[in-house]
Amino acid sequence: TQLLEQSPQFLSIQEGENLTVYCNSSSVFSSLQWYRQEPGEGPVLLVTVVTGGEVKKLKRLTFQFGDARKDSSLHITAAQTGDTGLYLCAGESGSARQLTFGSGTQLTVLP
Amino acid sequence: KAGVTQTPRYLIKTRGQQVTLSCSPISGHRSVSWYQQTPGQGLQFLFEYFSETQRNKGNFPGRFSGRQFSNSRSEMNVSTLELGDSALYLCASSPWLGGQDYGYTFGSGTRLTVV
């Protein structure tokens, strides 16, 4: 069974601060996806990384896939209150079309 | 472009009953997956359909079943409901089998409460 450990589980910071969320596994994934979920809604895809060592930037968000494709990180620069939400990492392996989700990081950005 | 539509949004059922949830994927998307989200277990994969065929199934009892129609719309059914089936059920669509750099588009989910 593949597991994705996500940390921290909860994060409360002030607007303007930087933060990093980590996603780790002992398994290799062919792709790693990051989603953000608002209360009462489904997850919304932020990014997909597929190549070991890959770095993708989405405005103030930077996503990195580990060289061995077992871990990933999400870094947010100068957080804003609109960044508040549940951040989920999810891995996919081989040809199996199923996502293994991390437990999520509940981020609260205070004004 | 319309997103993934799930109906109903909310549902209250009694233990022992059965329930059917519906999902209409994004037009042109042929892969539909279902996930269960609970506070204790997080998001867990139920099953995935492509071209009316179940391609992959998660570790759930046989009370959970699904199907996909020729227009790619999908339904999932839970029979003999238990209190522990209370959850947010999410449907996700993707344009094709493979292409793992595309990701999934999720619907808003169906909140099922079993009493």
Express each pLDDT in B5-61 by its tens digit: 999 999 999 999 999 999 999 998 889 999 999 999 999 999 999 999 999 999 999
> In 3-state terms, what secondary structure has residue A62?
strand
Cα B115 to its chain centre, rounded Å, is 21
The alpha carbons of chain A give a radius of gyration, in whole angstroms, of 13
B-proximal residues of A, 35-74, CB under 8 Å: 35, 40-45, 48, 50
Q: Give the integer Cα–Cα distance in Å for B13 and B18.
A: 8
Sorting pLDDT into bands at 50, 70 and 90, what band is B1?
low
| Contact check, Cβ <8 Å, B44/A43 | no
Structure tokens at B42: 């997080």
Q: Give the integer Cα–Cα distance in Å for A94 and A82.
A: 35
Sorting pLDDT into bands at 50, 70 and 90, what band is A97?
confident
